[in-house]
């Protein structure tokens, strides 16, 4: 088995040029309230926002094909791909570029964030086929990885560094007994990087076991944006301080010390009784009870060609102050890009956010 | 609604350069015997033969995705597309080329060869979505036609002429009450042709109500190859004579008289009791009884880049003589192409042949 690194492939930074963005149409009624109709509207709004900056492909089941086609702008390409849920970041391929700009991708094994040990649903067979289907449509070279990793568990700087959280990528429910050294080897071989930066825990309550993309991301080489909490009573207070200390003690692949930028957390958000009541009862691992706190974060945004597509949560006066603060941080860190904030509470209700439901395809 | 002709699009001849070929993986057990396994092997052999000459895309349901991937060569692209059966010629789009080589396609409404009036199965909703899905994957311009027509019901010469059979395209079970003039208008507008050549009946027993692609095809401008029968006791005797007379009395779009080449029919073939017993019982219109004659024809071949992919029926000594005669005709008419004959009885058992299960994508 040739690895991407051996073949000269690597994952570019998200701020590099994109050929487009891939998403998956939500539909499962045991995760998305009211038959997924509010989520479909929210996903359509994200797709529409991104489509103003780069081509968007929406993957849709046969049963929802006509409905998705009707609700999406003409510019969005709709292709039939069956899935178990709607997280293109995690089940989609990680696109790579190789010699002469060749397109490739990592097909990570997927086990619904934990398999039979507290994974979020069963089965996950269709999700595990998504990466191969994407690469097939694009006639791109496929590299099937030997370990379970989700796209939301990695962030690269495009200059040889990948950022990950121990809680997630070393979790026994992904790859039982895997060592840090084995995981580093696979990350280096399949992402084409030379150095791994580790933090400990992800955002408390994140049902992915601490995906990095909800906690922190590179905004350019040498600079990490970290979801930050100033309330000592909040469990994220210790997590964000610990992550900052780890990041400030690390070096990237080029030997640079990292600069940490702080992104304020949104005002804490909880499932309402009405929201929880709209979700089908299920024996799965998904937790959609009234009063449950959601793992909200403003760093869970998507970098499109020329724009940042970021979540906002403000509604009826609630959350507006943190939305405005987040916009200011993004505008300062990405001065050359439009900052487009899209209402994301309906996405958050399903367990993720804008970065989780998108997957960039590198290319010119 | 802009028509292809208004937009400068037209269907090139099948012998023009192809970007590739599209097929659909067979699986329905009420049409294909033994759970479609023999048919899958036959389709895979056709795909493999074509893939030596041009790229092949196989459309496959989610349930058969892994199996198709395993049985097809790596060079064949496998994409998920749900269907009701496996006739890419009839349910696929008809690819067109437009200004500056732009790719487009006709999305013909499809009603399973007759809808509720002796159509072959119900429902046909997934089949009717196939053309749009193909065009979506290719990001090609889609022209939804206003009348039901199947791809197997048309053959063009690439120089302004389309060849059709009255029995099929004027059948009330496709477009009730449509006139010849209305049909000619739609054929001209959607195929970008200026002249329609009509024959009467198709091959007797053809359950498509006489698709032209089982009876006759252009082999180059001005020359039509006709499936020919010399046995006065065979119902095809009168049909082939009538078609020849009609063709010899016609002119093409350039005003040329047509030359008719005769292709001998295969030795008559019938469903065996074993073959019929392998098909699930169903209330559909498909007729798979022991002793039923199949509508076999050697003109039901596919023109690939550099090759003719044609059916042969010889097995255990049976049919070998007609196979050899067919090969000679093809070699004489297509001297610059390889003649590749692929065993096709298992395809014929499902009601069609190699041209019916393929769809060329025009392009360089």
Interface of B with A in 93-152 (CB under 8 A): 126, 129, 132-133, 136-137, 139
How is residue B233 annotated by DSSP?
T
Question: How far is A78 from chain B, CA to nearest CA, in Å?
Answer: 6
Which DSSP state fits B214?
G
Candidates A78, A82, A139; nearest CB to B136: A78
Residue listed under structure tokens 């054929």: B187
Least CB–CB distance from A77: residue in B66, B69, B136: B136
Lowest mean pLDDT of A18-27, A287-296, B80-89, B292-301, name the range.
Answer: A287-296
- Contact present, A298 and A310 (Cβ < 8 Å): yes
pLDDT tens track for B65-76: 999 999 999 999
* Residue of chain A nearest B138, judged by CA positions: A137
DSSP percent split of chain A into helix, strand, coil, nearest 5: 30, 25, 45
Cβ proximity of A50 and A304 under 8 Å: yes
Taking the CA of residue B282 and the nearest CA in chain A, the distance in Å comes to 24
**Chain B residues whose beta carbon lies within 8 Å of the beta carbon of residue A51:** none
* The pLDDT of residue B285 is above 80: no
Inter-residue contact A361 to A24 (CB < 8 Å): no
Distance from C-alpha of A267 to C-alpha of A323, rounded to nearest angstrom: 9
Place of tokens 């255990």: B316
Residues of B in contact with A135 (CB under 8 A): none
Cα separation, A199 vs A189, whole angstroms: 20
Which of A208, A206, A207 has its CA nearest to residue A240? Answer: A206
Contact assessment for residue B340 and residue B49, using Cβ atoms and an 8 Å cutoff: yes
User: What is the CA B144 to chain-centroid distance, rounded?
Assistant: 20
What does the block give as tokens for A107? 């097909």
- Span B329-349, pLDDT tens digits: 999 999 999 999 999 999 999
Residues 255 through 274 of chain A touching chain B, CB cutoff 8 Å: none
Beta bridge partners, B225, equal B217, B261
Our CA angle for B269, B271, B273, nearest 5°, is 140
Candidates A168, A217, A229, A356; catalytic one: A356
Q: What is the pLDDT of residue A319?
A: 66
Nearest to B115 by CA among B151, B82, B147, B163: B147
Rounded mean pLDDT, B195-201? 98
CA distance B62 to chain A (A): 6
- The first and second tokens of residue B109, run together, are 């409404």
Interface test with A, best of B56, B80, B127 (most A CBs within 10 A): B80
- Is the model's pLDDT at B11 over the cut of 80? yes
- Tell me which chain B residues have a C-beta less than 8 angstroms from the C-beta of A62: 62, 82, 126, 129
Residues sharing a CB contact under 8 Å with residue B325, sequence separation 6 or more, in sequence order: B264
Residue pair B93/B137 in contact by the 8 Å Cβ criterion = no
Distance between A154 CA and the closest CA of chain B, angstroms: 27
Q: Give the model's pLDDT for residue A287.
A: 72
Q: What phi-psi label fits residue A319: left (phi over 0), alpha (psi between -120 and 50 degrees) or beta?
A: left
- Provide the shortest C-alpha distance from residue A81 to chain B (in Å): 6
The answer to whether B77 faces chain A, any CB pair under 8 Å, is yes
Chain B: closest CA distance from residue A20 (Å)? 13
Q: In chain A, whose CA is at the least distance from the CA of B142? A: A74
Looking only at the bridges linking them, the beta strands covering A259-264 and A223-228 are: parallel
Q: Give the pLDDT score at A285.
A: 67
Cα separation, A156 vs A153, whole angstroms:
10
User: Is residue B21 flagged as an active site residue?
Assistant: no
> Do B157 and B192 form a contact (C-beta atoms < 8 A)?
no
| pLDDT of B109 strictly over 90 | yes
Distance (Å, rounded) from C-alpha A59 to C-alpha A81? 5
DSSP, residue by residue, A42-71 = HHHHHHHHHHTTS-EEEEE-TTTHHHHHHH
Instruction: Report how far residue A78's alpha carbon sits from residue A23's, in angstroms, rounded to the nearest whole number.
Output: 10
Find the mean pLDDT for residues B287-314.
Answer: 94
A73 touching chain B per CB within 8 A: no
Q: pLDDT tens, position by position, for chain A (364 residues)?
A: 899 999 999 999 999 999 999 999 999 999 999 999 999 999 999 999 999 999 999 999 999 999 999 999 999 999 999 999 999 999 999 999 999 999 999 999 999 999 998 899 999 999 999 999 999 999 999 999 999 999 999 999 999 999 999 999 999 999 999 999 999 999 999 999 999 999 999 999 999 999 999 999 999 999 999 999 999 999 999 999 999 999 999 999 999 999 999 999 999 999 999 999 999 988 776 778 999 999 999 999 999 999 999 999 986 656 678 999 999 999 999 999 999 999 999 999 999 999 999 999 999 8
Closest CA to A253 of A333, A359, A163: A163
Residues written for chain A: 364
Distance CA A162, CA A154 (A): 6
Do the chains contact at B77 and A136, CB–CB below 8 Å? yes
Residue B222 makes CB contacts below 8 A (sequence gap 6+) with B157, B252, B254, B256, B257, B258, B259
> Residue B124: its chain A contacts at CB < 8 A?
none
Tens of pLDDT, residues A184-224: 999 999 999 999 999 999 999 999 999 999 999 999 999 99
> What phi, psi does B5 have (nearest 5°)?
-60, -45
Token pair belonging to A212: 């990095």
Q: Looking at the DSSP assignment, which residues form a beta bridge with residue A195?
A: A161
Q: In whole angstroms, give the CA distance from residue A222 to residue A248.
A: 11
The verdict on a CB contact (< 8 Å) between B62 and A78 is: no
The conformation of residue A100, written as its DSSP 8-state character, comes to G
Q: Is A67 on the interface with B (CB under 8 A)?
A: no
As given in the structure block, the two tokens for residue A251 are 């070096």
Nearest by CB to B62, which of A65, A126, A132? A126
Q: What per-residue confidence (pLDDT) applies to A288?
A: 84
- Closest to B82 (Cβ–Cβ): which among A66, A80, A132? A80
The C-alpha atoms of residue A347 and residue A349 are separated, in whole angstroms, by 5
Q: A77 at the B interface (CB within 8 A)?
A: yes
Answer yes or no: is pLDDT of B314 > 90: no
CB atoms within 10 A of CB A224: 28
Residue B319 confidence (pLDDT): 66
Residue A317, burial from CB neighbour count under 10 angstroms (0-12, 13-18, 19+): exposed
Q: Which residues contact B335 (CB under 8 A, 6 or more apart)?
A: none
User: Is the CB of residue A94 less than 8 Å from the CB of residue A14?
Assistant: no
Cβ within 8 Å of residue A283, ≥6 positions away: none
CA distance B224 to B163: 9
pTM above 0.90, yes or no: yes
Compute φ and ψ for B128, nearest 5 degrees. Answer: -70, -15
Residues in chain A with CB shorter than 8 Å from the CB of B129 are 62, 65-66
Does the structure show a pLDDT above 80 at B157?
yes
Q: Which pair of structure tokens corresponds to residue A330?
A: 């993004």
**Which two three-digit tokens encode residue B310?**
């044609």
Out of B66, B78, B132, the one facing A136 most closely (by C-beta) is B78
Mark yes or no for CB contact A79/B139 under 8 Å. Answer: no
CB-CB contact of B41 with B342 (8 Å): no
Q: Set out the domains of chain A in order of their start, with CATH numbers.
A: 4-362 (3.75.10.10)
Dist. CA B309–CA B50, nearest whole Å = 7
Contacts of A69 in chain B (CB under 8 A): 132
Of A62, A65, A79, the CB nearest to B137: A79
Question: Average pLDDT in the B280-304 region?
Answer: 90
The sign of the torsion formed by the CA atoms of A249, A255, A261, A266 equals: negative
Q: Which residues pair with B359 in a beta bridge?
A: B22
Q: Retrieve residue A11's tokens.
A: 């994952």
Distance between CA A193 and CA A187 in Å, rounded?
Answer: 7
Q: Which of A56-70, B134-148, B268-282 has the lowest mean pLDDT?
A: B268-282
Contacts of A65 in chain B (CB under 8 A): 129, 133
Which ipTM did the prediction report?
0.91
User: How far does the CA of residue B195 sit from the closest CA of chain A (Å)?
Assistant: 34
Cα angle for residues B179, B181, B186 (degrees, 5° grid): 100
Tokens at residue B301, please? 């071949």
B262/B346 Cα distance (integer angstroms): 25
Token output for A214: 């909800």
Average pLDDT, chain A: 96
As given in the structure block, the two tokens for residue A271 are 């499932």
How far is B308 from B338, CA to CA, in rounded Å?
A: 6
List the Cα angle A31/A32/A34 in 5-degree steps: 130
Q: Measured between CB atoms, does A82 come within 8 Å of chain B?
A: yes
Spatial distance between the Cα atoms of B146 and B108, rounded to a whole number of angstroms: 8
| H or E segment and range at residue B281 | none
pLDDT at residue B317 in the model? 59
The b/e string for B36-74 (b: 16+ C-beta within 10 A; e otherwise) is: bbbbbebbbbbbbbbbbbbbbbbbbbbebbeebbebbee
């Amino acid at each position: 088995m040739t690895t991407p690194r051996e073949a000269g492939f690597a994952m570019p930074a998200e701020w590099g040029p994109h050929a487009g963005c891939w998403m998956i149409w939500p539909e499962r009624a045991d995760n998305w309230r009211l038959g997924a109709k509010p989520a479909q509207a929210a996903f359509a709004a994200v797709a529409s926002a991104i489509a103003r900056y780069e081509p968007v492909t929406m993957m849709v089941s046969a049963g929802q094909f006509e409905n998705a086609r009707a609700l999406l702008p003409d510019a969005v390409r709709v292709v039939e791909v069956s899935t178990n849920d709607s997280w293109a970041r995690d089940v989609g391929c990680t696109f790579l570029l190789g010699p002469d700009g060749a397109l490739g991708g990592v097909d990570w094994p997927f086990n619904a964030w934990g398999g039979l040990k507290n994974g979020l649903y069963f089965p996950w067979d269709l999700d595990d086929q998504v990466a191969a289907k994407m690469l097939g449509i694009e006639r791109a070279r496929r590299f099937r990885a030997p370990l379970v990793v989700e796209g939301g568990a990695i962030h690269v700087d495009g200059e040889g560094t990948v950022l990950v959280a121990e809680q997630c990528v070393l979790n026994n429910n992904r790859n039982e007994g895997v060592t840090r050294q084995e995981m580093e080897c696979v990350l280096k071989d399949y992402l084409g990087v030379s150095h791994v930066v580790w933090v400990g825990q992800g955002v408390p309550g994140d049902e992915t076991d601490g995906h990095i993309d909800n906690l922190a991301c590179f905004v350019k080489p040498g600079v990490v944006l970290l979801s930050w909490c100033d309330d000592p009573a909040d469990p994220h207070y210790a997590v964000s301080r610990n992550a900052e200390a780890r990041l400030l003690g690390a070096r990237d692949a080029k030997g640079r010390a990292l600069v940490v930028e702080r992104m304020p957390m949104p005002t804490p958000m909880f499932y309402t009784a009405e929201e929880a009541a709209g979700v089908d009862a299920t024996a799965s691992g998904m937790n959609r009870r009234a009063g449950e706190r959601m793992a909200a974060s403003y760093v869970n945004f998507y970098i499109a060609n020329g724009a940042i597509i970021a979540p906002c949560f403000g509604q009826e006066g609630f959350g507006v102050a943190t939305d405005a603060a987040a916009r200011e941080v993004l505008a300062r860190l990405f001065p050359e890009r439009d900052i487009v904030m899209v209402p994301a509470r309906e996405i958050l209700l399903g367990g993720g956010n804008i970065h989780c439901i998108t997957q960039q395809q590198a290319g010119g």
